[in-house]
Structure formats: structure tokens, C-alpha cells
Structure 1
Amino acid sequence: MKYLAAYLLLNASGATPSADKVKAVLESVGIEAEEDKVSALLSSLEGKSVDELIVEGNEKLAAVPAAGPATGSAGAAAGSSEGAAEEAAAEEEAEESDDDMGFGLFD
């Protein structure tokens, strides 16, 4: 990601991204650039515009299931509603015990 971010920063500034320029951007913030990763990035992005890259990224994000883990926890949440009510009652008893000590939150 850091290599791609450096590439996009160079592109946004109007400069033509090259291996030396990407390395310079990364080194300016204390990141040691690896030659093979920089060259792999530039070869994979060769001939593509930033607009094309954004479209490809959006397509990949659209393929990620958004409701995967939430559906499994919905059944568990419904089954644990009794446990939640018992915990709430225990909390109320604990709060009442503070009042018995002669002081409260707003005294």
C-alpha cells in the first residue's frame, strides 16, 4: 500500500511516477524502499490511468460480502437476550448499593 500511495501522490502532483521518484517519496518519510516492490508496482500499473485503477478497486470492493459475519451473530444475540436482562438487573442492584452508602453521583 505504501508504494501505491507514493505512486498516487506523485501522480496527483502532476509528476510522472518513476522508480526513483517513488523511492524518493518513501525515503522522505523514513521508509526504506525495496527495489523489487517498486519495479513490480510500476510494471503492474504500466499503461493504466488512475481512473482505471479506481474503477478496478471499486469492483474488487463490491465483490466483498458485507453481511457475512453479522448474520451469524444475529442468532447468538437473540439467544442471549435473557442473559443481558440478568446482567442489567445485576447492574441496577450494584447502583442501588452506592446509594445505601450515603452518597450518590450528583450529591
Structure 2
Amino acid sequence: MRYVSAYLLATLGGNKSPTTADIKRILSSVGIEVDEEKSAKVVKELSGKSIEEVIAKGTEKLASVPSGGGAAASAAPAAAAAADSPKKEAKKEEKKDESEDEDEDMGFGLFD
């Protein structure tokens, strides 16, 4: 990704066809060691292509990738847990009520 980013920075700087030396200069200016093989591959793949067209094609591909399904699936267990919690609270309250009733059934009270 850093090599593509450096290539894009070079094109934004006005260089229509950046070379591996341009990528190396950009990356080494921020302290990143450059792998010559990777930078050569980026230059080879993008040479002669319009950056705007490459970005447009990539955007079309990203648009076809489903990306919203995970949220609904993760929300379902949370909703189920939320639905169960009132039942648990009701059971706890019922248990408390029963224990209070038992105290009253013993036949005496605090002020008797």
C-alpha cells in the first residue's frame, strides 16, 4: 500500500509517470526502506494508465462488494440478549416477592 501511495503522491506532484526512483525518494524521506521488487511492480502495473481511470475502476469494484450484512447479524444476538434481560429481571423480582411473602406467613411482624 505504501508503494501505491508514494506513486499517487508523485502523480499529485505533477509527475505523469513516476519511476521506482521517485517512489524510493518519497518513501525514504519518511524513513521507510524500499523493496525494489515491490516498487517496480507498482510502476509496471500503473505505467501508461490514467490514475483517474484506475481509481474509477477500483471504485466500481468496491461498490459491488457486499459490506452491510455483518451489522445485522451482530445486532441479532444483542437484541436477543436485550429481550432475555427483562425475563431474567422478572424472575428475580418474583423470587424476591416470594421471600417477602414467606416472612409475612410466619405469623408475626416487627410491631406485633
Quickly say closer, same or farther: Cα 1:11–1:78, change in 2 above 3 A. same
Q: What is the aligned-residue identity percentage?
A: 43
The normalised TM-score by structure 2 is 0.69
Q: Mind listing any 5+ residue stretches in structure 1 that lack a counterpart?
A: 88-107
Q: Which residue of 1 aligns with 2:14?
A: 14
Q: Distance in 2 between matches of 1:29 and 1:8?
A: 16
Deviations 1:34-54 (A, max 9, x none): 010011101111221111111
Q: Distance in 2 between matches of 1:35 and 1:25?
A: 13
Quickly say closer, same or farther: Cα 1:26–1:80, change in 2 above 3 A. same
**Shift in Å, 1:83:** 4.9
Q: Which residue of 2 aligns with 1:67?
A: 68
Q: In the comparison of the two structures, how many residue pairs are matched? A: 87
Q: Distance in 1 between matches of 2:29 and 2:18?
A: 15
Equivalent position amino acid for 1:36 in 2? E
Query: Cα RMSD between the aligned structures?
Result: 1.9
Q: Mind listing any 5+ residue stretches in structure 2 that lack a counterpart?
A: 90-112
The normalised TM-score by structure 1 is 0.71
Q: Which residue of 2 aligns with 1:24?
A: 25
Answer with 15-24 or 33-42: which moved more.
15-24
Q: Distance in 1 between matches of 2:46 and 2:85?
A: 52
